[in-house]
A and B are shown apart, each in its own frame.
Chain A
Amino acid sequence: MKGKNRLFLIMGIVGPGLIIANGGNDAAGVIIYSLAGGNFGYSFFLWIIGLTLGFAAIQEMIARMAVVTGKGLSDLIRERFGAKWAFLVMALLLVSNFAISMANFLCIALSLEMFNISRYLSVPASALLIWFIITKVGYSKGQKIFFILTCAFLTFLFAAVTIKPNPVNIITGMLNLQNGFNKGFFLTMIAILGTTITPFMHFYIQSSIVEKEISLKEYFYEKLNVYITVAVAGIFALLIMACSTEAIFKTGGTIKAIEDVAMIISPFAKEYSQIILALGLLGAALTVCSIVPITTAYSTCEALGFESGEENKINEAPVFFGILIFIVFGSGAAALIPGLSLLGVILISAEISGFLCPIMLIFIIKLANDKEVMGLYTNTFMENVFAKGTVILSITLIAGLFISII
């Protein structure tokens, strides 16, 4: 064990984990949970609880794969499934990550517009800031700075405490699904799926655990860390949704603009709610916008065998920098297309991730059950139940959506 004592070790592992959990509840995620609560009340509580269980199983599989194989997820996909599948997965990842990055740039635009800063200034400026952080500072340092801003989201916890939702209301609300099973309901469920189990997170987390070079002996702590962070993320999602239900849904309102989202924390934050929400969104969005391009570029280059690493010169690693530029500046530019419905685009981006989610999960489950890859550490029965259950539910959901459209 490297740390001075066990507590320190746990904190060392949990620290970055909490950031990731916050990244999972990225800026777009906060908006989606708010939208879901504001428009559908407590209907999605069960779905989020179920997803959190599935997510815990999947994150644990990812962590275990990292520790056992010492390889990144994209490496494993390439080595076990060959060039074609690796290419397909990377192409899908690129699409999904572009959408996520664009949604988070929109969140930056939204948050700074609350301070009357035009998006035509804020988005290009933050794209340049992110480029600077990625290439010169290192994204892990940037993350730490942004994390401070993200702490503003804790107001959701205080708001929930202030509101004190009635447990009976929650239970009757979450069991009452009569208003559901239409197109909007399914789409929101898929968006929640996409933002809770985001495809890029698997790649990011696996490589960050690989980098920590945790041995099997220490794996217990990493596993604990995974479960804690997933639980925190799940509780956080429920809190946002509860606040949103009480503040918007119960009053008969709907969320049409970012100002309505700020209403959710107003029971606690009062007149500061817009500022606090804006800071939180900004921090979370900047975090995601700097992690996503790096993760995409590394995963793709590793899977397809291109030179990678920020320490290279552009002409030494053209594909690597090409992807970075494409995601950072391409998605930033796309976020500036005039006339976009901001909340709508954020929702669509999460839906894209939701559609791709089961595909990624199938690869992960196959790998985690592969004796050649995992040796003695393949999935347990219960893990397969949760993970495969998540896949089956997701596919059913997507099928349900298509049926509801027809």
Chain B
Amino acid sequence: MEKLFSFFLSKFLYKKVYDEDGEYIGKLWDMYVTTQDGMPRVIGYKIKKKSELFNCEFKNINFYKENEKGIIKVQGEREIILQSYSYLLSKHLLDRQIVDINGKKLVRVNDLRIAEIAGEYRVIAVDTGVLSLGRRLGAEKLVEKLFKYAGKKPEDTLIIWDNVESLEMVNNNLKLSVPYKKLSKLHPADLADILEDMDINYRKRVFESLDENLAADTLEEIDKEVQLDLLENISQSKRDEVLDNMPNDEIADILEEVDEETAERILLNMEKEDADEVRALMEYEDETVGSLMNKDFISFNINITAKETIELLREMNPDDEVSHYIYIVDESERILGILSLKDLLVAEPDMSLREIMVEDVVYIKDSDNIELAIELATKYYFLSLPVIDAEEKLCGIIIMNDIIGEVLIPIWRRRFKKVV
């Protein structure tokens, strides 16, 4: 009989438990863990005896292997009432979907690797591979043979605990810890992909846990349909928070897809200035520059120096996509000149903006077709173009990236949908 310091949960689940005198106590039905300090730590056991379930802890519990069979021996059995912050391994983790942080996708947990660390048992990794599925079906040997037959080495596909995020085992009661901490470190675009794959309940729960900036960035990246469902399902306060952090053109894009009732409700809860802007954006016809333009941009109508401008920018800390160009406008918001971020950086610090700006500005009207914007921007190598309204006032910018994301990729996907 060999004592194991590291083993798979499935090898011992539903196996018989004996006490020090070799007397049968019951079957190991599940394990309680706490997630308060890193890797889930086992704090109790669910034992089933004669169709009756009871929770207990042991002064000592050891897992042995004899002739490939698992045997559990315990000492000092004591029945316990568990604190509410505990989870069950078999019920909340095994067979569930879990986020693989490195692989950036949802995977299903086939098995759990448990190890003894400093006298305590902890879940150190989850197994999502075919071999572990075979083990669960009691056909490990068969799967191994198949692997060898196919000329591959049978290996456990373990993902260590630090690289997974459980969707079930989240403690909302603990104020100190961030729920889904590991998820919130992902790039918004990756997080968006994962959220799209989740079922609606998980999606809502994870999304509500994100801080408002990340939530807004992620929402922008999510598929149109999923976006709507999320917005309609999350709480009012979260929705306000997120919309407050989103550029108005994105909000307008989303609201155009919602029915009027919902759109009105959302708009009424926004600040009036923003709501009016969103309404104006929603009025634009599809495929016009106005329908896709960004209302945020950087413009100055005072005469300041390059150095002062850089300081102002440092204070404003604008989003990446709007900070490529700086516009200089007159009192009535007509464009006088343009300045790229590079121009600004290489300019003499004491020169005024009006001295260094380029006066011959390439611009586009809000009623023009997007096609024209693409032509102009590619012709002159612009990352974004200034947009003017009917009164020739600077009213927004159109960003190449938005055109690619909203217009070109959908067309390209439809045309070249490749499968094999």
A304 at the interface (CB under 8 A from B): yes
| B419 A82 Cβ-Cβ under 8 A | no
Question: What residue in chain B is nearest A217 (Cβ atoms)?
Answer: B232
A and B contact pairs by CB, cutoff 8 A, 28 listed: A2-B228, A4-B259, A69-B201, A70-B200, A70-B201, A71-B199, A78-B108, A79-B95, A79-B96, A82-B95, A83-B95, A83-B133, A83-B136, A83-B137, A84-B137, A86-B95, A87-B137, A135-B420, A210-B200, A213-B200, A213-B229, A215-B232, A305-B109, A305-B110, A305-B128, A305-B133, A313-B420, A314-B420
Question: What residue in chain B is nearest A309 (Cβ atoms)?
Answer: B197
B107 partner, pick from A4, A87, A305, A310, beta carbons under 8 A: A305
Residue numbers in B under 8 Å from A87 (CB-CB): 137
B143 to chain A, nearest CB (A): 12
| B108 A305 Cβ-Cβ under 8 A | yes
A3 at the interface (CB under 8 A from B): yes
Lowest 7 A-B CB distances belong to which pairs? A305-B108, A70-B200, A83-B136, A70-B199, A135-B419, A213-B229, A71-B199
A215 to B228, CA, bound (A): 12
B95 partner, pick from A3, A71, A78, beta carbons under 8 A: A78
| B110 A3 Cβ-Cβ under 8 A | no
Interface size bracket, B side:
20 to 34
A8 to chain B, nearest CB (A): 10
B258 at the interface (CB under 8 A from A): yes
| A210 B110 Cβ-Cβ under 8 A | no
Decide: A136 near B108, CB < 8 A? Known: A78-B95, A82-B136. Answer: no
A86 to B95, CA, bound (A): 10
B87 to chain A, nearest CB (A): 14
Residue numbers in A under 8 Å from B133 (CB-CB): 83, 304-305
Residue numbers in B under 8 Å from A83 (CB-CB): 95, 110, 133, 136-137
| A215 B95 Cβ-Cβ under 8 A | no
A80 to B268, CA, bound (A): 43
A310 to B109, CA, bound (A): 23
Residue numbers in B under 8 Å from A210 (CB-CB): 199-200
| B233 A215 Cβ-Cβ under 8 A | yes
1/0 contact trace for A102-137 toward B, CB 8 Å?
000000000000000000000000000000000110
| A311 B95 Cβ-Cβ under 8 A | no
1/0 contact trace for B241-271 toward A, CB 8 Å?
0000000000000000011010000000000
Residue numbers in A under 8 Å from B109 (CB-CB): 305
Contacts A304-B108, A314-B420 supplied; 12 other A-B pairs, CB < 8 Å = A1-B259, A75-B199, A83-B95, A83-B137, A84-B137, A84-B138, A86-B95, A87-B137, A136-B417, A213-B225, A304-B133, A305-B108
Within 8 A of A (CB), among B120-163: 128, 133, 136-138
A304 to B137, CA, bound (A): 11
Residue numbers in B under 8 Å from A4 (CB-CB): 259
Select the residue from A69, A82, A310, A314 with max chain B CB neighbours within 10 A.
A82
Residue numbers in A under 8 Å from B228 (CB-CB): 2
A124 to chain B, nearest CB (A): 19
B79 to chain A, nearest CB (A): 23
Residue numbers in A under 8 Å from B202 (CB-CB): 70
Question: What residue in chain A is nearest B229 (Cβ atoms)?
Answer: A213
Within 8 A of A (CB), among B228-242: 228-229, 232-233
1/0 contact trace for B86-115 toward A, CB 8 Å?
000000001111000000000111100000
Residue numbers in A under 8 Å from B229 (CB-CB): 213
Within 8 A of B (CB), among A285-311: 304-305, 310-311
| B136 A2 Cβ-Cβ under 8 A | no
Decide: A2 near B259, CB < 8 A? Known: A79-B96, A305-B128. Answer: yes
B13 to chain A, nearest CB (A): 9
A75 to B96, CA, bound (A): 9
Within 8 A of A (CB), among B172-231: 199-202, 225, 228-229
A79 to B91, CA, bound (A): 8
Residue numbers in A under 8 Å from B96 (CB-CB): 79
Question: What residue in chain A is nearest B417 (Cβ atoms)?
Answer: A136
Residue numbers in B under 8 Å from A2 (CB-CB): 228, 258-259
A136 partner, pick from B136, B199, B419, beta carbons under 8 A: B419
A194 to chain B, nearest CB (A): 27
Within 8 A of B (CB), among A313-358: 313-314
A2 to B258, CA, bound (A): 6
1/0 contact trace for A205-226 toward B, CB 8 Å?
0000010010100000000000
Within 8 A of A (CB), among B398-420: 417, 419-420
A69 to B199, CA, bound (A): 8
Residue numbers in A under 8 Å from B97 (CB-CB): 75
A305 to B129, CA, bound (A): 9
A70 to B259, CA, bound (A): 23
Question: What residue in chain A is nearest B259 (Cβ atoms)?
Answer: A2
B248 to chain A, nearest CB (A): 23
A65 to B199, CA, bound (A): 12
1/0 contact trace for A1-28 toward B, CB 8 Å?
1111000000000000000000000000
A95 to chain B, nearest CB (A): 17
Question: What residue in chain A is nearest B97 (Cβ atoms)?
Answer: A75
Residue numbers in B under 8 Å from A310 (CB-CB): 419
1/0 contact trace for A57-70 toward B, CB 8 Å?
00000000000011
Residue numbers in A under 8 Å from B128 (CB-CB): 305
Select the residue from B133, B200, B202, B233 with max chain A CB neighbours within 10 A.
B200
A288 to chain B, nearest CB (A): 22
Question: What residue in chain B is nearest A77 (Cβ atoms)?
Answer: B95
A62 to chain B, nearest CB (A): 15
A78 to B96, CA, bound (A): 8
Question: What residue in chain A is nearest B420 (Cβ atoms)?
Answer: A314
Question: What residue in chain B is nearest A319 (Cβ atoms)?
Answer: B130
A215 to chain B, nearest CB (A): 7
Decide: A3 near B136, CB < 8 A? Known: A213-B200, A304-B108. Answer: no
A87 to B229, CA, bound (A): 32
A311 to B200, CA, bound (A): 22
B255 to chain A, nearest CB (A): 13
A377 to chain B, nearest CB (A): 13
A210 to chain B, nearest CB (A): 7
Residue numbers in A under 8 Å from B225 (CB-CB): 213
Residue numbers in B under 8 Å from A84 (CB-CB): 136-138
A83 to B128, CA, bound (A): 12
Residue numbers in B under 8 Å from A3 (CB-CB): 259
Within 8 A of A (CB), among B4-18: none
Residue numbers in A under 8 Å from B138 (CB-CB): 84
Select the residue from B96, B109, B199, B258 with max chain A CB neighbours within 10 A.
B199
Residue numbers in B under 8 Å from A136 (CB-CB): 417, 419
A74 to chain B, nearest CB (A): 11
Question: What residue in chain A is nearest B135 (Cβ atoms)?
Answer: A83
1/0 contact trace for A76-105 toward B, CB 8 Å?
001100111011000000000000000000
A210 to B108, CA, bound (A): 19
